[in-house]
Amino acid sequence: MQIGELQIYSRIGEDGFARLVRAFYAQVPDDDILGPMYPPDDMAGAEARLRDFLIGRFGGPDRYIQQRGHPRLRQRHAPFAIDQAARDRWMQLMSSALDQAALPADITDTLRSFFDQTATFMVNRS
């Protein structure tokens, strides 16, 4: 069962998104596909950007937009070769992070669906 997306922040707050994003980025540095896409000296920045984007997207403060403007996800990710394998690995790591974050099941379902659609949208190489 899915809930309204804008209700998510009111239910899990900053802490829920922080746990999720922390669990995701804990896996990235050692990943053979995704790790090389992230500058090792900016992992904390990448974590903050994703956390702030998700918080704003799901009903919380719009810090991401205030600091960086419109997300323009495809444009911002254009320099990275995101093929089906990278998309699938991103989903694998995010699915693991969703499991680790132990969010309510309806929120996990809604986020998993959002991530699945967004990850597919981000593919820019065949």
**Domains of the chain by residue range:** 5-122
Question: Alpha-carbon distance 71 to 3, whole Å?
Answer: 23
Phi, psi at 80, each rounded to 5° = -100, 135
Closest CA to 54 of 122, 113, 111, 116: 111
User: Is residue 2 over pLDDT 80?
Assistant: no
Q: Tell me the pLDDT band of 1, cut-offs 50, 70 and 90.
A: very low
More confident residue, 126 or 103: 103
Taking residue 125's Cβ as centre, other Cβ atoms within 10 Å add up to 11
Is the torsion defined by CA of 49, 54, 56, 57 positive or negative?
positive
CATH 1.10.490.10, applies to 5-122? yes
pLDDT in tens, 11-44: 999 999 999 999 999 999 999 999 999 988 999 9
Mean pLDDT of 98-115: 97
